[in-house]
A and B are shown apart, each in its own frame.
Chain A
Amino acid sequence: MLRALKFMAAASALAVALTSPSVLAQQDDLAPIANGDWNYETAAHLLERAGFGGTPAQIEALAALSPREAVTSLVHYDSSNNAHLLPFEHSGIHEPGLEPFPPSRPATTELAKRTGEALGVRVKPEGNRRLQPVVNKFFYWLRASVLETNRVAYWWADRMVASNNPLQEKMALFWHGHYAINESKVRDYRKLLNELELFHEMGTGSFRDLMVAVAQDPAMLSFLDAGVNVKGAPNENFAREIMELFTMGVGNYSETDIREAARAFTGWNYVDTDFVVNEQQHDDGMKTFLGHNGNFDGIEIIDLIMEQPVTAEYISSKIYRFFVREELSPALGKELGTILRDADYDVATLLETLFLSKDFYSTPSMGSQIKSPVQLAVSTYRKLGLKDAPGVPDFNRATGALSQSLFRPPTVAGWAGGRSWMTPGLLLERGNFARDVLFPDINFIPPDRINGSAEIRSVADRIRQGQDITSATQPSSMSEGGIMAESNMLADRDEEFNTRYGSFRGWQMAIERVKPIPRHTARINLSEMILEQNIETTDEAVSYLLARFMRVQPGSETRSMLIDFLSQDLGTSNIVDAQSYMEDSLRLVLHLIMSQPEYQLS
């Protein structure tokens, strides 16, 4: 009963908090908040933004500390806290011959025709479809890398849900959106995983060191085609993105600066998962960059970039927008830039200042952030008290349907974030996600086991029935799949290989070797959650759920609607009477809560 009263108090404290002068600290004021202003609500806000929110017990633990202790515990986290988190378990799908992976199927078969071998597979000396094993291997890696990348994303999602250092994960998510690399271009889960580990290790350290590490990271080098940037024929893409998107922002350098920087990065390349500098492809001549002359290399270029005040302003403003508010004044941006530069680009120092600031706890900052899809899913799981991301619904499918797929940012500029997360259709889809968590679909089919293409399933069936490859790969219908099948049927006349068979065989080999994602559903017990609070009425139950799951409370009409709904569905407003059968009704009411616009706010 005491605990229940505490939560009623917390809920009403929030209503007060929004107008109370003590918490209505000054906007744009980076001075630390007073110990006296620290309470359950400010602690909850900190955990929402520096992490992914949490259970009432986790918030209480943070509220019991001083603000500085609370912020320190999140920013200067102790890595030994996470002994329960296991490293990524590789399926063992990669083989030496696969690297370097050609850019396309035609490039692969051309290579095989020219050299008699590709992807570690030799062309058959005689007979029909001499290139078929090569084509099979090409599609195998294409599918296997996609499936394994989905496992890496799941592994990361589990960490986000289970880590005792949530800021480490949140910061990795920020850097993943900043250095926005896409699996469809890199096509190698190992490089993506290595880069994620870079973010885990260096995310709150020096931005300068992280920038150097990313610029030398095979994932980034492959993504931005660094391999074609060679002495005498510099490719500006890499240098341009570093300045435009990663450090300074457009308008703070000239086209000449880009060309000169591109020369400095020539020869930077990778072999498999290692960074290499090809000295003979590196242009060691004099360069003029941002007003400086010298025979700079890539690292010196990055250091010159870091000397620019605009670099610190650009990155600290972006960090601010991710953690605090969408809008900030140019003056505040300059102030943040100074803090970061004075700290030698130490990100933890900037974060500490932000999370302690009166600005962070001012009215415009509290409860004003629209959760990203990943944030929505992870915080839902954390607030439910789950220990990992359930296998049903599929995490990647669910967040993808809400427009954020890990390792598949839409462009090199990352996710736009903020209000662009939301469309009318996506708001409805967010409610559908909640339903799929609370009422898992009994007809769920794991997307990593059964491929979605009806044509490939049909090829598989016909091959099993003993048909030859030509017959088995003929289009089975005039549907959309049939259109694509036409090209494959024609391609088969080549008799060197059959791409549709290769696609089928690739799937088959990939599914055989990539480990399955565990498909447990969420173990949720809302009845127990409510009974532990000694709650007696539907009014109290709804108040508890609203306080536990929402940072911004809905209006009174919605609240009454929820209470009426619960009372009606239970056939009583007395929770004690209904305790033996109330689980489904509580889940329905929680689905309604999670479908509300306010649930999307952090």
Chain B
Amino acid sequence: MKKNKFRSNKALSRREMLTGMAGLGALSMVPPAFAQAAQAAAAQAAANGKVLVILELSGGNDGLNTVVPYGDDAYYRQRPNIGIPKNELRVIDDHFGFNPGMAGFERLYKDGKMAIVHGCGYENPSYSHFTSMAYWHTAAPNSGNEYGWVGKLADEIAPSAPPNYLVNIAARQSLAVRSAKHVPVVFDDPNRFMREAFAAEKDALNAVPEIGESENSSRSFLLDIARSANDASALVRDAWTKYDSPIDYGVNDLDLQKVVALLDAGMPTGLYYVAYRNNAFDTHVFQNNLHRRLLTYTSDAVAGFIQDLERIGRADDVALMIFSEFGRRVPENVSLGTDHGAANAMFVVGNQVKGGHYGELPSLTELAEGDNLAYTTDFRKVYQSMTQGWLGHSDSNKLLGGNFGTFDLFS
């Protein structure tokens, strides 16, 4: 039933796409040689061939009602009305259970493919979505940086800035991927990643831009961007046209299907950045049904993603890191929701991940200022676990502003 619904949606979007492309005719199709070149480039993109995908849960996910510490009575004392009873949870051990909506996470955890890192946060937490998210985006808490940490990571791993190394699927570029050297491929709907042109203009507009031999380095840069736009938009649209998966991602794929489509098409991308958008997790009022639904969508999409990676034979090459800009306050509020908080759980998912709990559990009785969980793990330690442990990039000092150590997350 679900599968049928999914297929019909997909069929519709492809039909729309074909309509959209009709005006562009053969020009929009990627020549096979192009795709082969992309495949070849893929091999050299990341030093160790690993791919990192980052999923942002915007709005401040309530970690305590995501991975519920049912074994701690203090949880139920703090949340007499919105605390989830043990018999409704998806129990994973003698202390924790996932939110009832998270069948996908339960399966991934039980298959040993999910690491849960507890108590992630930073000193002097900001309760502003905007400020805290900027801290996470730049890996610079209580400070800031004009470049994002994923952008800086790309600069350090691939300083020659090969095209299409960094992909951000979003309506607008995230601060996280802002880079000094790389041109992040930013797109939302692959079918709209194109020039809006009148029929008469199509040949002229799609002409391959000249090679920038100019003394003007800005002009050379823009000509590179123009070529990248021509290449990437064609690659992305072609990858999306070819993508046809039987895997069910649920109601909202969180753009993870596009990641698989690009991986399968051989895009030479080492870093992908996607988000559950629009502050969705900001659950101040009557949160339980809404939060459960948000988590169901997230869990379905992540589980579908891992399955889909298996299908295309890339599951061993990809790790997914999931974060939110803050957790929520420990006690429930009077509106049966929760307000902006501090420390939170992060998740790392993938075939090569050593599943289990990591980090020290924050106390539910000895709370930090404002009834919040005191953080036990600097979130940059998880970043470093990904850059060092997964991507094999050893130096974190410039990237993260220090050496935070790593968790041994990967086999």
Contacts and interface: CB of A to CB of B under 8 A. Distances in A.
Contacts of B233: 424-425, 428
A554 B207 CA distance: 13
A345 B131 CA distance: 31
Interface of B: 124, 128, 130-131, 134, 142-147, 172-173, 175, 178-180, 183-187, 193-198, 200-201, 204-205, 207, 209-210, 215-219, 221-223, 225-226, 228-229, 232-233, 251-252, 280, 283-287, 289-290, 293-294, 333-335, 337, 339
A393 to B, nearest CB: 12
Contacts of B147: 416, 420
Interface in A349-408: 363, 367-370, 401, 403
A20 to B, nearest CB: 13
Chain A interface, >50% SS class: helix
B144 A588 contact: no
A480 interface: yes
Nearest to B126: A237
B285 A499 contact: yes
A287 interface: no
A490 B289 contact: yes
Interface string A419-463: 110111111100110010001000000000000000000000000
**Closest 3 CB pairs between A and B?**
A424-B229, A597-B222, A490-B286
Contacts of A106: 284-285, 333, 335, 337, 339
A565 B204 contact: yes
A432 B204 CA distance: 15
A121 to B, nearest CB: 19
Contact of B207 (A426, A561, A598): A561
Given A185-B128, A367-B216, A552-B216, A422 B222 contact: yes
A486 B226 contact: no
A561 B215 CA distance: 23
A82 interface: no
A423 B143 contact: no
B219 A552 contact: yes
Contacts of A232: none
A601 B219 CA distance: 7
Contact of B334 (A110, A240, A363, A569): A110
Given A588-B198, A588-B201, A597-B219, A427 B290 contact: no
Contact of A480 (B186, B201, B223, B252): B252
Contacts of B286: 487, 490-491, 493
A26 to B, nearest CB: 16
A425 B178 contact: no
Contacts of B145: 413
Nearest to B194: A428
A411 interface: yes
A425 B185 contact: yes
Interface string A473-504: 00000101001101100110110000100000
A591 interface: yes
Contacts of B280: 483
Given A419-B218, A424-B183, A565-B201, 19 more contacts: A106-B335, A106-B337, A185-B128, A367-B219, A368-B218, A369-B218, A411-B175, A423-B185, A423-B225, A424-B185, A425-B229, A425-B233, A426-B173, A478-B251, A483-B294, A486-B293, A490-B285, A552-B219, A600-B222
B186 A426 contact: yes
Given A552-B216, A561-B204, A597-B226, A428 B193 contact: yes
B130 A411 contact: yes
A424 B173 CA distance: 11
B130 to A, nearest CB: 7
A411 B145 CA distance: 9
Interface of A: 18, 104-106, 110, 182, 184-185, 236, 240, 244-245, 250, 363, 367-370, 401, 403, 410-413, 416, 419-420, 422-428, 431-432, 435, 439, 478, 480, 483-484, 486-487, 490-491, 493-494, 499, 552, 554-555, 557-558, 561-562, 565, 569, 588, 591-592, 595-598, 600-601
- The main secondary structure of chain B at its interface with chain A is loop
B144 A412 contact: yes
B195 A431 contact: yes
Nearest to A433: B196
A499 B290 CA distance: 15
A468 B287 CA distance: 24
B142 A240 contact: yes
A405 to B, nearest CB: 10
Contacts of A184: 130
Contacts of A561: 204, 207
A257 to B, nearest CB: 15
B183 A483 contact: no
Contacts of A244: 143-144
Nearest to B290: A487
Contacts of B179: 420
Contacts of B178: 416, 420
A240 B135 CA distance: 15
Contacts of A490: 285-286, 289-290
B144 A413 contact: yes
A597 B225 contact: yes
24 contacts: A104-B284, A106-B333, A110-B334, A185-B128, A250-B143, A363-B215, A368-B218, A368-B219, A412-B131, A419-B180, A420-B146, A420-B178, A422-B225, A423-B184, A424-B183, A424-B233, A425-B229, A432-B196, A478-B251, A486-B290, A491-B335, A552-B219, A591-B201, A601-B219
Contacts of A370: 218, 221-222
A592 B209 CA distance: 12
Contacts of A597: 209, 219, 222-223, 225-226
B215 A18 contact: yes
A411 B134 contact: yes
Nearest to B164: A424
A108 B251 CA distance: 34
A399 B25 CA distance: 30
